[in-house]
Chain A
Amino acid sequence: MNKKRKGVLRALAVCSAAVMMMASSGCAKGGPGGPGGRGPGGAQQGGKIAVITKQQLSFWDDVKKGAEDACSELGYELIYTVADGDNDYVSQVAAINDAIKKDARAIVIAPNGTTELNEAFEKAEEKGIKIININSLADYDGVISLISSSETDGGGVAARSAVKALAANKYDFTKGVKVGIIGHTASTAEKRIEGFADVFTQQAAFKALQAGGMQDMGAAGDAAQQGGDQAQQGGAAQQGGAGGAAGSDDAMGAIIVSLRKNIVEGERCAKRDDAKAQAKKLLGTDGNGINVMFGTTTNTTLGICDAVEELGLAGKIVVVGFNSDEQELAFIRKGVLNGVVVQNPYIMGYVGVRYAKKVLDGTNVPNRLDTGATFVNADNLNDPFIQLLLYPDSY
């Protein structure tokens, strides 16, 4: 009897040994390390990321597309909210509270205000929610990173393109250049105009110096109707011109001052019709001597185009603007609009979410990322990259 019992025990022992072998073989081979030692743990945590944008425009639709792609590719759930306008911080406060309520792990926001959202941000931070800004920066210490396109550089790109367009038209820079600007109402307008003015005056001054200096700065001053000291301006320009040496700082400075005085700005406005009215005011009936018109946003650009087209000044005035609304593109194709500065909202949305993920994974991110600005005109409109910028979801 004992002998049989021992046999059964032996059989059980054999089975157990086999099971142990299987377990050990499985365990030994079951867990090869992650690729290249890169820990995948964080990537799998997932969760919700709230993306809050400024207003219902194609620009913000592209931000949304970028955020959607990033969430989908990186394994997060997107809570997307768009405010009613670029001053509507109330909706954004509500969206932040909603994100807190929904246990979002990070908030990627293009803030409609500098300090108005701070209270909501504090609440979010108390819950351990990470805050990333896109497009513009809130005046809040808890903002970990800003992903944006430099507004001043965007203005600069517009300015350089305008100068190039004038140069392409064989414009004689020594005659001075008169510029009309219609800005929008949000804070970004200021920086765009500033960037435009700085770069435009520098570039135009350089061109003028290359061409031998300013011929008649007084005339330019009059045309600008700025009421400046024309004699002084003319003197400075002639001094620069007489000097003849390109790169002369004094001459350059004087021309820049002169050119700045030829920059006129209409009243800031948010709507297209208002922008058109402001543009018409600057242009008069025959352009009023203006060589370049600059719109700082979609509606102001469209308003300028409306005015230029209506006045029959298409092709006579270089018009540069911002953003890539279909109607703006249509104006480019018609030749009314020379080109627009296009930021990369898709990348802003994508990188915003990606940085949020990195922060959640405990990885450091740069506190500032410039996604750049590109000038789109009739020549490059069909380039693959431009198409990618204009239609990020088409590929």
Chain B
Amino acid sequence: MAKDKNKAKSKSMSSGVYIFAALLLAVIYIINTLLVESIYSNNSKMSTRTSQSMNCLNRINSELSEINMDTLGIAAGIKTDMAVITDDTNRRYANIKDAENTFRNIQDVTPDAMRRFDYAMSIVETYKKRLDSLDTGVVESGDYIEMGYILKQDIYPLQISASEMLTSTIDVMSVKIASMMKQNAIKTYLLMSMMMIVAILGEIAIWIFAKRSKKARLELDERERSLAEVDAKLKATRQKATDLAEMNVLTGMKNRYALDNEISGRLESERFNIAVFDLDNFRSINDTYGYDFGDEYLVAVSDKLKEEFSSVAEIYNITGNEFCFVFNKSISESQAMGIVQNIHRVMTSPFEVLNLNVQLPCSGAVYHYLPGDCLNVNSLLVKLDTAMRNAKMNGGNMVNTVMNM
């Protein structure tokens, strides 16, 4: 459960990182978009205003130039109809005033540019006044010398100066606009760099966070593995302890407890064949050759029994030299009787123990158990032991059968 909880926590932490990353990026993107939009919008406005301004200034300059062409025409004697020329001049001057008003209404024209424009318009006004004050009689009288002087000395320099100041206004505006554009470009690049840095830092932070989270997960897995190992060790130890409780240490065979555990459940409902054998006069071996020799002899007997009969029966070493055989379900009563004879033969055969050939007789009892014959294993064994003791009392070295009652 704790493990699952940790995993869930780790998973939610990991998804939190991605949500944070997504939110961070969204915020960065929105801020960036808004700021870039704002700069772009300023630039667009500036471009529009500049375009309008340039149009006005160029229009004034162009009309001024046209008026000057008329005066040139007069001086050259090409144009003499003063009424037409005056109308034309007035119309062009109205256009100039119109463009002037448009220019003055354009927002955010810098003071420098406006100052230059005022200067230009002051010259334009003077130019117009001079045109207005020209004595048309001069034209009509044909005084071309005077007309030449008027054009050369009074009119033309003014038009040139006005034109210079108008184009200067364009230059001044261009310089300021270029400067503002440059500032905007710097702002944009700074902004982009800042956003990039923030995004990169964000990525690094997410990477570090993810790395830490991965490390934490690895530590957790390691701990889980250690716990599993400890658990396995505990299980093995427990099994070992269980085995030791149910096993005869000397012969390695299951003991009486094991027998009890394994067949208690079968007494009520099953029929099976069971036999017990005990070496006759085994005590004389212990007395004659010592306990160590007796133990070695038992080991040799038990090894032989396991070798010969473990395939047909479960073998238990229920006391020192007493062996119990619970035959497999597949073994019939008659087969069991044959096997019992074989067991007797094997147990009574000579065994070489510590370079000595030793042979002992043995007695046994066999019981064709029917369901419900005994209440417990103890009473079952009592029946078998009683039958075996009867055999021993009758001279031993024989196998008795427990009679069903």
Check: A227 CB closer than 8 A to any chain B CB. no
Q: Which residues of A contact B44 (CB under 8 A)?
A: 32
Check: B14 CB closer than 8 A to any chain A CB. yes
CB nearest neighbor in B for A388: B122
Contact indicator B175/A156 (Cβ below 8 Å) = no
A4-B217, A19-B200 known; A36 vs B54 contact (CB < 8 Å): yes
A373 to chain B, nearest CB (A): 7
Contact indicator B168/A30 (Cβ below 8 Å) = no
A376 to chain B, nearest CB (A): 12
Contact indicator B153/A11 (Cβ below 8 Å) = no
Report how far A31 CA is from B43 CA in the complex, Å.
9
Q: Which residues of B contact A373 (CB under 8 A)?
A: 153, 157
A74 to chain B, nearest CB (A): 5
Check: A385 CB closer than 8 A to any chain B CB. yes
Contact indicator B123/A385 (Cβ below 8 Å) = yes
In the complex, per-residue mask of B150-194: 1 if CB is within 8 Å of any chain A CB, else 0: 001110111011001100100110110111011001001101100
Report how far A5 CA is from B214 CA in the complex, Å.
9
Check: B17 CB closer than 8 A to any chain A CB. yes
Report how far A153 CA is from B319 CA in the complex, Å.
150
CB nearest neighbor in B for A46: B175
Give A222-270 interface residues, CB cut-off 8 Å to B: 247
Report how far A8 CA is from B179 CA in the complex, Å.
44
Check: B256 CB closer than 8 A to any chain A CB. no
Report how far A21 CA is from B178 CA in the complex, Å.
28
Give A12-54 interface residues, CB cut-off 8 Å to B: 12, 14-16, 18-19, 21-23, 25-27, 29-36, 38, 40-41, 43-44
A30-B188, A372-B161, A385-B122 known; A23 vs B203 contact (CB < 8 Å): no
The listed residue (B46, B119, B200, B210) touching A8 by CB distance below 8 A is B210
Task: Give how many A-B residue pairs fall within 8 Å (CB-CB).
Answer: 187
Identify which of B25-33, B351-359, B395-403 touches chain A. Answer: B25-33
Check: B348 CB closer than 8 A to any chain A CB. no
Contact indicator A40/B203 (Cβ below 8 Å) = no
Q: Which residues of B contact A369 (CB under 8 A)?
A: 160, 164
The listed residue (B157, B192, B199, B207) touching A372 by CB distance below 8 A is B157
Report how far A5 CA is from B153 CA in the complex, Å.
86
Check: A357 CB closer than 8 A to any chain B CB. yes
Contact indicator A25/B33 (Cβ below 8 Å) = yes
Q: Which residues of A contact B126 (CB under 8 A)?
A: 383-385
Interface residues on B, range: 35 or more
Q: Which residues of B contact A156 (CB under 8 A)?
A: 149, 152-153
Q: Which residues of A contact B119 (CB under 8 A)?
A: 388, 395
Report how far A102 CA is from B123 CA in the complex, Å.
36
A320 to chain B, nearest CB (A): 14
A153-B152, A206-B145, A347-B164 known; A44 vs B179 contact (CB < 8 Å): yes
Report how far A12 CA is from B191 CA in the complex, Å.
22
Contact indicator A153/B153 (Cβ below 8 Å) = yes
In the complex, per-residue mask of A57-75: 1 if CB is within 8 Å of any chain B CB, else 0: 0000000000000101111
Check: B379 CB closer than 8 A to any chain A CB. no
Contact indicator A18/B174 (Cβ below 8 Å) = no
Report how far A347 CA is from B196 CA in the complex, Å.
50
CB nearest neighbor in A for B37: A29
Of A21, A22, A33, most B-chain CB atoms within 10 Å: A22
B53 to chain A, nearest CB (A): 9
In the complex, per-residue mask of A200-212: 1 if CB is within 8 Å of any chain B CB, else 0: 0011001000000
Question: Would you mind naming 29 contact pairs between A and B with Cβ atoms under 8 Å apart?
Answer: A8-B206, A8-B211, A14-B22, A15-B25, A15-B202, A18-B29, A22-B29, A26-B195, A30-B36, A30-B189, A31-B185, A32-B47, A34-B181, A35-B51, A40-B174, A40-B177, A40-B182, A43-B175, A44-B179, A72-B112, A149-B157, A153-B153, A203-B146, A206-B143, A351-B164, A384-B125, A384-B126, A385-B125, A385-B126
Can you add 20 more A-B contacts, CB < 8 Å, to A11-B17, A74-B175? A12-B203, A14-B21, A15-B206, A19-B199, A22-B28, A29-B39, A31-B185, A34-B177, A35-B51, A43-B179, A44-B175, A44-B178, A44-B179, A73-B112, A75-B179, A153-B152, A156-B152, A160-B153, A370-B157, A395-B115
Closest 8 CB pairs of A and B: A372-B157, A40-B178, A35-B50, A385-B126, A30-B188, A43-B175, A29-B40, A8-B210
